[in-house]
Structure 1
Amino acid sequence: MTRIHVAEPLSVDAHLALPEAAARHVAQVLRMRQGELLTLFNGAGGEYVAVIEAVDRRTVQVHVQDYRDVERESGLSMTLAQCVAKGERMDYTIQKAVELGVSAIVPLLSARSVVKLDSERWEKKLEHWRGVMLSACEQSGRTAIPQLQPVQKFDAWLAASGTGPRFVLAPGGHHSLKQLPQAQAATLLVGPEGGLSDEEIALAVHRGFTAIGLGPRVLRTETAGVAALAALQALWGDLG
């Protein structure tokens, strides 16, 4: 069934209107009609089956009929600290990271970051990325919404990045993920289009990060983080 995120409390036998964007999608794109079923979730765990009671071009009224106590979240808590990439590259990384079960995403600005925006436009960008995340949760069956942190400067985030297993992707890195001991949580740092500078990589290593290589080929920024997250899930999580 079509899955819809609803940012409000849900309960069996509730009657409610779908959010405006979701209602337009259900009514105008999917052309669903009265009596058809939807799956609703709000990120608090589980999901609900609802039947469409009324539908027009801009509004959809539903009746919640049943609750399903499903759990599709990974036991591996992964944080992706991704230096901001241009346009669709960042969208792609966020979308696929959510599909792969990431717990949190931190957009970073590093020395070679090419995206320069003022505070108001950054807020609009964050709102856009939240939409990408919610769509990915709807598509992938997730019942929890990953955390999207504010855009942060590289040095400030690194200084407050905490402890535990932390990895920085670096071409020529002397370690590979399969050589490391298994963990239940990990932080992954990925550079922008031009990569992290040597100084930034050295600073990350000084702060306790392990420099990781992903094989003999150089991956684009939108590929590198996704590939590393998939490898982590395959090694320590629930992929495969």
Structure 2
Amino acid sequence: MREPGFGIDLAGFSTGKSGFARAQADDEGHIVVSVWDKHPLKTKYTGGRSLIDATRSLQRLIGACMVRGPVAVDIPIDLQGLPNSPTSDHIWGATKRPVDQALGGMPPFADRIGGPVVRFMHLGLQSALGERLFETYPAQSLRELGLAPTGYKNQTAKMEDGEWVGGRLAALLTSLSVVAEPGETLDDDEFDAIICALAVAGDLDYPARRSRLDRQIDAKLGNANRHVQASIRVERLDELISPYFS
């Protein structure tokens, strides 16, 4: 097996809705994605819990992942001076980084992502950014694949009779050639985590990871079919416990 990539769809302390996935290509080049029913990111914390206790298990999990492969998280990590200093002379620079403005991302301290951003800040892992830790934007990955990244939030898809059913999320899984055992379900948090993991797993010929220029060159040269999306097989495991991946 080749080097895996790990994806995290991080939510706030109190929701228990974070997604976690591992993507890896086997020796034949097939893509295998693992998701877990139980993992530390699903723990819910109340405001009275110790911040140190609430971050320790996540630090251990991400640390164990980074030993084995790169980790992609779908929240702003490098805040580039926000909120203390603007990132631009324009008004948007008071709340957004240039990448947020360019890709239509939410401001790092917006209502929906402010909690997860602060949660990750307390992990103290920023020094690994750009080496084994990466900020990832699932919506942009889907756009790079020609898929609209809308309409699938708060949905769950189920594999029935060889097809995904369940609204827009099911349609996206079908478009990405994701396969799973009959009766398997995936929710939107797990889906985002899978997209993050696919972005950083080693040795994957995954279309969203190729630059737009590369794809344009292939199209001009008639090589567009050279990078056909491989099927992605999802396996669901029971519980991820410490020590992780031993």
The two structures share one fold, judged by TM-score above 0.5: no
| Larger RCO, structures 1/2 (Cα 8 Å, 6+ apart) | 2
Normalization by structure 2: what TM-score? 0.28
**Comparing both structures, which one devotes a greater share of its residues to strand?**
1
Larger Rg: 1
TM-score (normalizing by structure 1) = 0.29
